[in-house]
């Protein structure tokens, strides 16, 4: 299996090179040349396997130079019982006959980022060894909340790496901030940036491309690397849970072999739903992919009109992990739909220049055949949380609620009752205040007290990683101006 840049197919990379490098030098995303097909009886075989074995089977198809033994060790370490509070790892909760919720938040940070960020450090360190990289990786992350904590947990105490996370001082929830500033591990750093998420993100990008800083880093024996979802090592582990969910439905006789399902995903950077698309390309019987957005509905418009236009107001919503106007992974979809790196390059140049591009009719048809786009605002998000809880006794977080709203709209519009898997991306306990309000609580408690309040209200226990934050020491209090982020890097490496 060879990998190419989505903007240039003349240079080919091995899987280890693609993962070690993260981003192609031309700014494109490193992506497999083609998507391999599941062999005829794969689903039958996978049906009986544990999640870890399913992960090995599927990832091996993309990672030729990794041995089964290696991948088995990685999967056992990444998805073991000390990391995930469910032996199923990503269990499927059946809501009603045709609606199944794939719970992706049973890992150490209670959000779906764990599914990939528990695996990425293993893939990355092995890739560095295979490519004979002798420097150590300094991983920089700008986060609006979930990615930062996920990456810290994944990379803590991983040999030959240091990780530094920047979060916007006033841009994350109290639980999210506590999760980060109490982070354990000898190789980690966390700093708050004065400003919003864009300031943190722009600051990180500037560090990456600052020649002087990179040279200083090299002298200390390091190079910069990234843990965000442009790295193939983050997309690949996400294919596994869609195939795994289908196998669970087969095993539990909720679908029959070959029967189609729809998949509905709350979407931000387009990484999660792209993985579902790739699972379909591998031959998993998926019919429609329903792309759910909050009020930042750039993707809804894109799917409906074939125009991507990020020149619009940015809204802060109660599903902050989807507050995003540039969905980076869309570039991989464009490559898959066009099969042409030249065409992708052209669209991306238009996006860089004017913040906008328009698909031609043929491409737009292809997109619309596969994807349906829906969006909703915060009021609707809370209505759905309430109605799911009242009707089904099932508590969901704000991001997952956006997906259930999209599914409801899709079903109303089309009458399609195909069994549907909805990706549930965070524990409701991560967004206590909004969830409590949705359930009718007029004065939600602040900080960790809201966890208890939600437990009292619903009878559900808070996940251990969140409940135990109370006993953790605050380790990181550094606040930097966006101009001085480099100081945080240098002090981590000294
Ligand atoms: C990151 C995140 C999303 C968006 O996922 P993408 O892969 O960026 O589309 C949705 N929900 C939660 C809770 C997240 O943390």
Question: Is residue 35 within 8 Å of 62, Cβ to Cβ?
Answer: no
Name every residue whose Cβ is closer than 8 Å to that of residue 317 and which is 6 or more positions away in sequence.
Answer: 294, 295, 296, 323, 377, 378, 381, 398
Rounded to the nearest angstrom, the distance between the alpha carbon of 425 and the centre of ligand 1 is 7
Which atom of ligand 1 lies closest to the CA of 267? 9
Q: Which residue has its alpha carbon closest to ligand 1 atom 2?
A: 321
CA angle centred on 147, ends 141 and 153, rounded to 5°: 90
- pLDDT > 80? residue 142: yes
Place of tokens 């189609």: 260
Banded model confidence at residue 314, pLDDT cuts 50, 70, 90: confident
Rounded to the nearest angstrom, the distance between the alpha carbon of 366 and the centre of ligand 1 is 25
Rounded to the nearest angstrom, the distance between the alpha carbon of 390 and the centre of ligand 1 is 25
Where in 232-277 does DSSP place strands (E)? 261-266
Name the residue of 321, 381, 400 whose CB sits within 8 Å of the most ligand 1 atoms, as the mutation to test its pocket. 321
What would the mean pLDDT of 178-190 be, rounded to a whole number? 96
* Residue 47 Cα distances to 41, 44, 176, 306, 321, angstroms: 10, 5, 36, 38, 32
In 27-119, where does DSSP find H-type helix?
42-47, 51-60, 68-78, 113-117
Place of tokens 């940036």: 193
Q: Which residue has its alpha carbon closest to ligand 1 atom 14?
A: 321
Q: Which residues line ligand 1 (CB under 6 A)?
A: 111-113, 146, 229, 266-272, 321-322, 399, 425-426
What would the mean pLDDT of 42-58 be, rounded to a whole number? 97
Rounded to the nearest angstrom, the distance between the alpha carbon of 273 and the centre of ligand 1 is 9
CA distance 116 to 135: 24
pLDDT number for residue 162 = 95
Rounded to the nearest angstrom, the distance between the alpha carbon of 104 and the centre of ligand 1 is 11
- Characterize the bridge pairing of strands 420-424 and 99-103: parallel
Instruction: List b or e across 279-314, with b for residues whose CB sees 16 or more CB atoms inside 10 angstroms.
Output: bbbbbbebebbbbbbbbbbbbbbbbbebebbbeeee
- Kindly report the average pLDDT of the chain as a whole number: 94
pLDDT number for residue 70 = 97
Question: Is residue 123 within 8 Å of 70, Cβ to Cβ?
Answer: no
Question: Is residue 262 within 8 Å of 289, Cβ to Cβ?
Answer: yes
Angle, in degrees to the nearest 10, between helices 120-130 and 232-251:
130
Digit-coded pLDDT (tens) for 367-403: 999 999 999 999 999 999 999 999 999 999 999 999 9
Rounded to the nearest angstrom, the distance between the alpha carbon of 399 and the centre of ligand 1 is 8
pLDDT number for residue 399 = 97
Label residue 167 exposed, middle or buried (CB < 10 Å: 0-12, 13-18, 19+).
buried
Question: Is residue 308 within 8 Å of 353, Cβ to Cβ?
Answer: no
**462: closest CA among 474, 471, 453?**
453
Rounded to the nearest angstrom, the distance between the alpha carbon of 400 and the centre of ligand 1 is 10
- pLDDT > 90? residue 152: yes
Neighbour tally for 188: CB within 10 Å? 24
Banded model confidence at residue 195, pLDDT cuts 50, 70, 90: confident
Digit-coded pLDDT (tens) for 61-82: 999 999 999 999 999 999 999 9
pLDDT number for residue 204 = 86
Which atom of ligand 1 lies closest to the CA of 269? 8
**138: closest CA among 126, 150, 124?**
124
Rounded to the nearest angstrom, the distance between the alpha carbon of 494 and the centre of ligand 1 is 34
Query: Which uninterrupted H or E stretch holds 367?
Result: helix 361-370
- pLDDT > 80? residue 161: yes
Token pair in block for residue 432: 């206590």
Rounded to the nearest angstrom, the distance between the alpha carbon of 269 and the centre of ligand 1 is 7
Q: Which residue has its alpha carbon closest to ligand 1 atom 8?
A: 269
Contacts of 337-341 with CB under 8 Å at 24 or more apart are: 337/363, 337/366, 337/367, 338/363, 341/4, 341/5, 341/6, 341/7, 341/8, 341/9, 341/28
* Residue 60 Cα distances to 36, 53, 237, 301, angstroms: 11, 11, 11, 36
Q: What percent of the chain has pLDDT over 90?
A: 84
- pLDDT > 80? residue 229: no
Banded model confidence at residue 148, pLDDT cuts 50, 70, 90: very high
Name the residue of 142, 269, 302 whose CB sits within 8 Å of the most ligand 1 atoms, as the mutation to test its pocket. 269
Rounded to the nearest angstrom, the distance between the alpha carbon of 211 and the centre of ligand 1 is 32
Banded model confidence at residue 12, pLDDT cuts 50, 70, 90: very high
What would the mean pLDDT of 445-470 be, rounded to a whole number? 94
CA distance 14 to 127: 10
Name the residue of 266, 401, 423 whose CB sits within 8 Å of the most ligand 1 atoms, as the mutation to test its pocket. 266
pTM: predicted TM-score of the whole model, two decimal places: 0.95
pLDDT number for residue 332 = 96
Q: Report, in this order, helix, strand and coil percent for the chain, each rounded to 5.
A: 50, 15, 35
Q: Which residue has its alpha carbon closest to ligand 1 atom 4?
A: 268
Q: Which residue has its alpha carbon closest to ligand 1 atom 11?
A: 425
Which atom of ligand 1 lies closest to the CA of 266? 10
Banded model confidence at residue 232, pLDDT cuts 50, 70, 90: very high
Which atom of ligand 1 lies closest to the CA of 426? 13
Name the residue of 107, 108, 110, 146 whose CB sits within 8 Å of the most ligand 1 atoms, as the mutation to test its pocket. 146
CA distance 185 to 64: 32
Digit-coded pLDDT (tens) for 235-244: 999 999 999 9
H, E, C per residue of 104-136 = CCCCCCCECHHHHHCCHHHHHHHHHHHCCCCCE
pLDDT number for residue 238 = 98
What 8-state DSSP symbol labels residue 14? Answer: -
- pLDDT > 90? residue 21: no
Query: Which uninterrupted H or E stretch holds 166?
Result: strand 161-168
Question: Is residue 417 within 8 Å of 98, Cβ to Cβ?
Answer: yes
Digit-coded pLDDT (tens) for 338-373: 999 999 999 999 998 999 999 999 999 999 999 999
What would the mean pLDDT of 180-188 be, rounded to a whole number? 96
- pLDDT > 80? residue 145: no
Banded model confidence at residue 173, pLDDT cuts 50, 70, 90: confident
- pLDDT > 80? residue 49: yes
Which atom of ligand 1 lies closest to the CA of 146? 15
Banded model confidence at residue 199, pLDDT cuts 50, 70, 90: confident
pLDDT number for residue 191 = 96
Name the residue of 112, 180, 328, 429 whose CB sits within 8 Å of the most ligand 1 atoms, as the mutation to test its pocket. 112
CA distance 481 to 200: 10
What would the mean pLDDT of 270-292 be, rounded to a whole number? 98
Banded model confidence at residue 311, pLDDT cuts 50, 70, 90: very high
pLDDT number for residue 226 = 82
pLDDT number for residue 32 = 97
Helix, strand or coil for residue 164?
A: strand
Name the residue of 105, 106, 115, 268 whose CB sits within 8 Å of the most ligand 1 atoms, as the mutation to test its pocket. 268
């Amino acid at each position: 299996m060879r990998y190419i840049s989505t903007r240039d197919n003349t240079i080919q990379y091995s899987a280890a090179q693609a993962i070690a490098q993260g981003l192609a030098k031309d700014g494109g995303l490193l992506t497999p040349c083609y998507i391999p097909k599941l062999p005829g009886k794969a689903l039958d075989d996978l049906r009986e396997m544990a999640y870890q074995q399913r992960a090995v089977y599927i990832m091996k198809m993309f990672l030729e130079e990794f041995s089964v033994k290696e991948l088995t060790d990685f999967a056992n370490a990444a998805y073991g019982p000390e990391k995930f509070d469910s032996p199923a790892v990503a269990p499927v909760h059946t809501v009603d006959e045709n609606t199944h919720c794939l719970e992706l938040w049973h890992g150490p940070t209670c959000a779906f980022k764990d599914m990939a960020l528990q695996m990425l450090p293993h893939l990355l360190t092995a890739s560095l060894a295979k490519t004979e990289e002798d420097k150590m990786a300094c991983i920089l992350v700008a986060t609006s909340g979930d990615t930062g904590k996920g990456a810290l947990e994944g990379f803590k105490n991983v040999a030959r790496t240091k990780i530094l996370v920047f979060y916007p001082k006033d841009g994350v929830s109290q639980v999210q901030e506590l999760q980060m500033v109490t982070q354990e591990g000898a190789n980690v750093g966390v700093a708050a940036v004065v400003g919003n998420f864009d300031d943190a993100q722009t600051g990180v990008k500037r560090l990456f491309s600052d020649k002087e800083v990179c040279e200083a880093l090299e002298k200390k024996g390091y190079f910069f690397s990234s843990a965000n979802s442009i790295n193939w090592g983050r997309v690949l582990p996400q294919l596994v849970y869609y195939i795994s969910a289908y196998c669970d439905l087969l095993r539990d006789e909720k679908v029959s072999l070959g029967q189609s399902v729809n998949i509905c995903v709350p979407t931000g950077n387009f990484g999660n739903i792209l993985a579902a698309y790739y699972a379909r390309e591998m031959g998993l019987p998926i019919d429609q992919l329903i792309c759910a957005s909050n009020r930042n509905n750039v993707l809804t418009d894109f799917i409906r009109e074939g125009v991507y236009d990020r020149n619009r107001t940015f809204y802060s919503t109660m599903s902050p992990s989807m507050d995003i106007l540039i969905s980076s992974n869309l570039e991989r979809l464009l490559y898959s739909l066009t099969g042409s790196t030249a065409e992708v390059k052209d669209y991306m140049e238009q996006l860089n220049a004017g913040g906008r591009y328009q698909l031609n009719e043929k491409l737009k048809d292809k997109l619309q055949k596969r994807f349906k786009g829906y969006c909703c605002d915060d009021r609707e998000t809370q209505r759905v949380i309430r109605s799911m809880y009242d009707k089904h006794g099932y508590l969901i977080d704000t991001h997952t609620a956006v997906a259930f709203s999209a599914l409801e709209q899709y079903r109303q519009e089309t009458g399609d009752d195909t069994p549907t898997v909805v990706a549930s991306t965070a524990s409701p306990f991560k967004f206590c205040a909004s969830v409590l309000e949705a359930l009718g609580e007029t004065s939600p408690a602040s900080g960790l007290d809201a966890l208890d309040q939600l437990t009292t209200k619903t009878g559900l226990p808070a996940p251990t990683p969140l409940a135990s934050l109370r006993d953790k020491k605050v380790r990181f209090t550094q606040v930097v101006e966006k101009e001085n982020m480099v100081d945080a890097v240098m002090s981590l490496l000294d």
